[in-house]
Amino acid sequence: MLTNDELAKWDRENFMHPSTNLGQFARGEGSQRIITGGDGVHITDRDGNRLLDGFAGLYCVNVGYGRTEIADAIARQAHELAYYHAYAGHGSEASITLAKMVMDRAPDHMARVYFGLGGSDANETNVKLIWYYNNIRGLPRKKKIISRWRGYHGSGLMTGSLTGLELFHKKFDLPLAQVIHTEAPYYFRRKDAELSEEDFSAHCAAELEKLIQREGADTIAAFIGEPVLGTGGIVPPPKGYWDAIQQVLTRHDILLVADEVVTGFGRLGSMFGSAHYGLKPDLITIAKGLTSAYAPLSGSIVGQRMWDVLMQGTDEYGVLGHGWTYSAHPIGAAAGIANLNLIDSLGLVENAGTVGAYLQKQMKNAIGDHANVGEVRGEGMLCAAELVKDRDSRSFFDPSEGIGGKVVAAMLRRGVIARAMPQGDIVGLAPPLCLTTAEADTIVGVTA
Ligand code: PLP
């Protein structure tokens, strides 16, 4: 067996990690942690640390670590049928069963689910389906996609463009020309301090309307948004936001994509964020919570009005030329079935709502009045503390100080993993949905 030092050296010398400062890592600088195990809401590393994972990996291990029900389902599937493709009407019992389980949980007006591997490829699928849809409708100019600054939708060519965070654009020649960004519904950082939440929502809708007028509604196909902004800062929408946005979209025949990669399957205390906030999307992106990350699997849930046109398209033009080798992978599907069954049997959607509200309340009690905490906010099992230089004057730290990262490092030294959100001084929490109130107390305890 390799020693810790050997493994760490091999890591630095061979492995190109995602979202990492490559030079620093190769030179032996920056963080390095080799994870060896997980159990409930805790992970262990090779140095013998046991840490409470307050971010559920990357907000994905929703049922917690070490669930034998899912591990056994994966093993059974690997023995019986590790793989067969899903092209041209083929499938496995697992992928068909999971499709039925997803559609049973999805909003009523949704018609079918297409399975991919991760959130990024699911959003790539969405854009292709949207373009296909408008081509079939005889609207070949109607192709641009509107996304929000601070939105996160992946890091592929199109999805990295949809993402509204500079880190994912710079030096990559992104965003692509078909993507345009509109204002984030970020009430805390609004320019006009006098605006009420409702007025700020109306302002965001008016900005969207202006953008559509400027570009021409006949060039705009869709709007994509996360029900709660996730990676961009864990920002729940201000009151009335989604209603106001949907009115604009309907007026201009623009499709709505609800990116529920984080919010899908219970994180907000509702099965879907769309139901939570009254969205009526044409496409819903799902990933993370679909399998709780026990195996890679994602999906695009397609609404009825798009489905009708897609069928008409293939009647006219033949096979839909879109598919991945691993679409609807049977092992991912087996993991998904066991995961959704666990979410139901353990009541994790309800738990996310109640323990999530408790976590937020305790966090507010503990640090809400601190001079450097501008706001504690969240929804369900998502919680964030926004750090400010001075609370009363709402002045912010210089981003180069990396204050969020310093707070997260201090929490880690006390045994809790939080996440410094990539833009702004925001400490994010997104624990597994099975978090108990005692574990929530542990998280809050390390912030004091
Ligand atoms: N969409 C949202 C809302 C996400 O949060 C993420 C990842 O964090 C993605 C899409 C991309 O998913 P993946 O990293 O699986 O490609």
| Residue 237 predicted with pLDDT over 90 | yes
How much is the pLDDT for 400?
Answer: 84
For residue 90, is pLDDT > 90? yes
pLDDT cut 90: percent of the chain above it = 95
Given a cut of 80, is residue 424 above it in pLDDT? no
pLDDT of residue 353: 98
80 Cα–ligand 1 center, Å: 30
Place of tokens 């670590």: 65
Dump pLDDT digits (tens) for 42-74: 999 999 999 999 999 999 999 999 999 999 999
Q: Does one domain contain both 330 and 386? A: no
Average pLDDT over residues 429-442: 98
Average pLDDT over residues 401-412: 94
- Residue 398 has a pLDDT of 87
Is the pLDDT score of 435 beyond 80? Answer: yes
User: How many beta carbons lie within 10 A of that of residue 348, not counting itself?
Assistant: 27
Taking residue 332's Cβ as centre, other Cβ atoms within 10 Å add up to: 27
Judgement on whether residues 286 and 383 belong to the same structural domain of the protein:
no
In a domain, 20, yes or no: no
Contact call for residues 400 and 319 (beta carbons, < 8 A): no
Question: From the CA of 155, how far away is ligand 1's center (Å)?
Answer: 8
Question: Does the beta carbon of 119 sit less than 6 angstroms from any atom of ligand 1?
Answer: yes
CB of 154 shorter than 6 A to ligand 1: yes
Range of the structural domain that residue 406 is part of: 33-63+348-445
Q: Would the pLDDT of 423 be above 80? A: no
CA proximity to 160, closest of 11, 19, 43, 38: 19
Distance 120 CA to ligand 1 centre (A): 6
CATH of residue 253's domain is 3.40.640.10
- Alpha-carbon distance 259 to 267, whole Å? 13
> How far is C-alpha 313 from the chain's CA centre?
30
Q: Whose CA is nearest to atom 13 of ligand 1?
A: 119
338 in any annotated domain: yes
Q: What is the pLDDT of residues 98-150, one digit of tens each?
A: 999 999 999 999 999 999 999 999 999 999 999 999 999 999 999 999 999 99
Same domain assignment for residues 381 and 306: no
| Strands ordered across the beta sheet of 42-45 | 35-39, 42-45, 50-53, 416-417
| Statement to judge: residues 274 and 403 lie in one domain | no
Out of 115, 229, 261, 419, mutate this one to test ligand 1's pocket (max ligand atoms within 8 Å of CB): namely: 261
Q: What is the dihedral of CA 254, 259, 263, 266, to 10 degrees?
A: 80
CA–CA separation, 17 vs 11, rounded Å? Answer: 9
Does residue 22 lie within any of the structural domains? no
| Mean pLDDT score across all residues of the chain | 97
pTM of the prediction? Answer: 0.98
* Longest Cα–Cα distance in the chain: 64
Task: Write out pLDDT tens, residues 144-171.
Answer: 999 999 999 999 999 999 999 999 999 9
Which atom of ligand 1 approaches the CA of 263 most closely? 3
113 within some domain:
yes
Closest residue CA from atom 10 of ligand 1: 153
In terms of Cα–Cα distance, which of 415, 441, 436, 421 is closest to 53? 415
**300 touches ligand 1 (CB under 6 Å):** no
Reduced to 3 states, what is the DSSP secondary structure of residue 199?
A: helix
393 and 269 share one domain? no
Count of beta carbons in the 10 Å neighbourhood of residue 206: 13
Residue 154 CA to ligand 1 centre (angstroms): 5
Residues contacting 39, CB < 8 A, separation 6+: 65, 66
Q: How far is the CA of 164 from the centre of ligand 1 (A)?
A: 13
Per the domain annotation, does 417 fall within a domain? yes
152 lines ligand 1 (CB under 6 A): yes
Q: Decide: 120 in ligand 1 pocket, CB within 6 A.
A: yes
Q: What are 235's strand-pairing partners?
A: 229
**C-alpha to C-alpha distance for 139 and 148, rounded to whole angstroms:** 24
352 lies in the same domain as 338: no
Assess whether pLDDT exceeds 80 at residue 264: yes
pLDDT tens-digit readout, 285-330: 999 999 999 999 999 999 999 999 999 999 999 999 999 999 999 9
CA 356 to chain centre: 17
Residue 152 CA to ligand 1 centre (angstroms):
7
* pLDDT of res. 249: 98
Distance of CA 223 to the CA centre of its chain: 16
Confidence band of 448 (pLDDT split at 50, 70, 90): confident
**Residue 202, exposed/middle/buried by CB under 10 A (0-12, 13-18, 19+)?**
middle
Name the DSSP letter for residue 166. Answer: G
Q: What is the mean pLDDT of residues 174-197?
A: 96
Q: Which single residue is written with the structure tokens 């046991």?
A: 50
- In a shared domain, residues 368 and 324: no
Length in residues, the chain: 448
Helix (H, G, I), strand (E, B) or coil at 301: strand
Distance 116 CA to ligand 1 centre (A): 13
Kindly give, in sequence order, each residue whose CB lies less than 8 Å from that of residue 4, ignoring residues fewer than 6 positions away.
34, 46, 47
Residues 298 and 430 in one domain: no
Q: Is 231 in the pocket of ligand 1 (CB under 6 A)?
A: yes
Q: How far is the CA of 364 from the centre of ligand 1 (A)?
A: 28
Cis peptide before 432 (omega within 30 of 0): no
pLDDT band at 399 (very low <50, low <70, confident <90, very high): confident
Answer yes or no: are the C-beta atoms of 389 and 382 closer than 8 Å.
Answer: no
What is the separation of C-alpha 404 from the centre of its chain, rounded to a whole number of angstroms? 20
Answer yes or no: is pLDDT of 391 > 90. no
Q: Measured from the CB, is residue 260 less than 6 Å from ligand 1?
A: no
Per-residue pLDDT at 422? 83
Within a domain: residue 121?
A: yes
Residue 162 phi, psi dihedral angles, 5° rounding = -65, -35
Q: What DSSP element (H or E) covers 121?
A: helix 119-136
**If DSSP codes are grouped into helix, strand and coil, which group holds residue 382?**
strand
182, 49: one domain: no
First-to-last C-alpha distance (Å) of the chain: 41
In a domain, 379, yes or no: yes
329, 345, 361: which is the final residue of a domain? Answer: 345
> Is there an atom of ligand 1 within 6 Å of 67 CB?
no
Asked if pLDDT for residue 1 goes beyond 90, the answer is no
CATH number for position 361: 3.90.1150.10
Number of domains forming the structure of the chain? 2
**Predicted confidence band at 394 (pLDDT cuts at 50, 70, 90)?**
confident
Mean pLDDT on 81-94: 97
Measured in Å, residue 414 CA sits from the centre of ligand 1 at 28
Atom number, ligand 1, closest to the C-alpha of residue 154: 11
Buried b / exposed e along 242-274 (16+ C-beta atoms within 10 A): bebbbebbeebebbbbbbbbbbbbbbbbbbbbb
**340 and 388 inside one domain:** no
ipTM (interface pTM): 0.99
- The stretches of 232-375 forming alpha helices (DSSP H) are 241-251, 273-277, 304-317, 330-345, 348-367
Environment class of 157 (CB within 10 Å of its CB; exposed 0-12, middle 13-18, buried 19+): middle
Q: With CA atoms as reference, report the closest residue to 272 among 153, 163, 352.
A: 352
Q: Which of 345, 374, 399 is the last residue of a domain?
A: 345
Quote the ligand 1 centre to 150 CA distance (angstroms). 13
No. of H helices and E strands in the chain?
15, 15
Position 134 scores a pLDDT of 98
Shared domain check, 378 and 340: no
Q: How far is 18 from 57, CA to CA, in rounded Å?
A: 14
Residue 317 belongs to some domain of the structure = yes
Q: How far is the CA of 38 from the centre of ligand 1 (A)?
A: 22
Q: Say which residue the tokens 């067969």 belong to.
A: 84
- For residue 371, the SS3 value is coil
Q: What is the pLDDT of residue 40?
A: 98
With a 6 Å cutoff on the Cβ, whether 299 touches ligand 1 is no
Would the CB of 124 count as within 6 Å of ligand 1?
Answer: no
Among 284, 316, 345, which residue terminates a domain?
Answer: 345
CA distance 301 to 314: 18
Which atom, in ligand 1's list, is nearest to the CA of 119? Answer: 12
> Are 48 and 77 found together in one domain?
no
